[in-house]
Amino acid sequence: MKGFLALMRPINAIMASLGTVIGGVIAEENLRGLLFPKLYVAMAVVFLVLMGGNSLNDYFDAEIDKINHPTRPIPSGQVSRSTAKYLAVLFFSAGLIISIFTLNALQFLLAALAVFLLVTYEWKTKAWGLVGNVIISSLVGLIFIYGSLSIGLSYEVIILSTMAFLANLAREIVKDVEDIHGDVDRTTLPKRIGKGLSLVAAAILIIVAVSLSPIPFIFFGWKGLYILFVSISDLVFLISVFFSFTDQTKGQNLIKIGMILGLVAFLVGSSI
């Protein structure tokens, strides 16, 4: 059982799928958004698709993990490679079936698109570096939109989704700079244009994301705690830019913290 849990990484899937609930609350602009049953169905779909993606990741990385991560479920013999493949198919299928029968057509199409992108990412586009980074960051941003569609898409959710995409893409690039010597099987952005220009690109993405944060205050009247939390989030993001040039590990961790604080800002701004 321990090997299967390590393969599927359900905690990570739960944390990510919570983004659907956040998207729903922001779309409703009230905590009453938590009362919509379809929001939790959407959360279940995201949870299943992500566990399918996690299983597929270990399936495709089985040979590499024999060298880099020998204690992972497949190389350590806890789970067979074929079992990982079948689990991925099972989780993907369950997520798509649930979405087609209980959610709207757009949500089903987005779930199908997510499955397609995850499969092609593990099979091919991960090796393409920046293209893979864009795909993963797009899926991160889509989680909030996916949840909001259970209630109704709003401009606020679109802004959050865009900021999440930009920040996550910046973090992916910083991580690629950090791992440039270990990424022997990927043509990452740092390998194409060098570390310095890649970090400049990441910094620009962060600055653009930060520049979007005043929109809810200016156009939607979000004040009080939103201003407090988003200011702290923006400060952390800007500090991450500085550290990214000197310590990529600290830089990408600060981007992650900034993203979490940004989520809190949007939650309190929309519901209080």
Q: Which CATH number is 154-272's, of 3.40.50.920, 1.10.286.10, 1.20.120.1780, 1.10.760.10?
A: 1.20.120.1780
Mean pLDDT of the chain: 91
Which residue, 169, 157, 185, 163, is CA-closest to 230?
Answer: 163
Residue with token string 């701004």: 269
pLDDT of 26 over the 80 cut: yes
Q: How many CB atoms lie within 10 A of CB 42?
A: 31
Domain assignments of the chain as residue spans, ordered by start: 1-128+143-153, 154-272
1-128+143-153 has which CATH code? 1.10.357
All residues at 6 or more sequence positions from 196 whose CB lies less than 8 Å from its CB, including other chains: none
Which residue, 90, 89, 140, is CA-closest to 114?
Answer: 140
Per-residue pLDDT tens over the stretch 92-124: 999 999 999 889 999 999 999 999 999 999 999
Region 12-33: what's the mean pLDDT? 87
All residues at 6 or more sequence positions from 61 whose CB lies less than 8 Å from its CB, including other chains: 69
User: How many Å apart are CA 117 and CA 89, to the nearest integer?
Assistant: 14
The residue type found at 78 is Q
Per-residue pLDDT tens over the stretch 167-212: 999 999 999 998 887 767 788 899 999 999 999 999 999 999 999 9
* pTM (2 d.p.): 0.91
Q: How confident is the model at residue 68 (pLDDT cuts 50, 70, 90)?
A: low
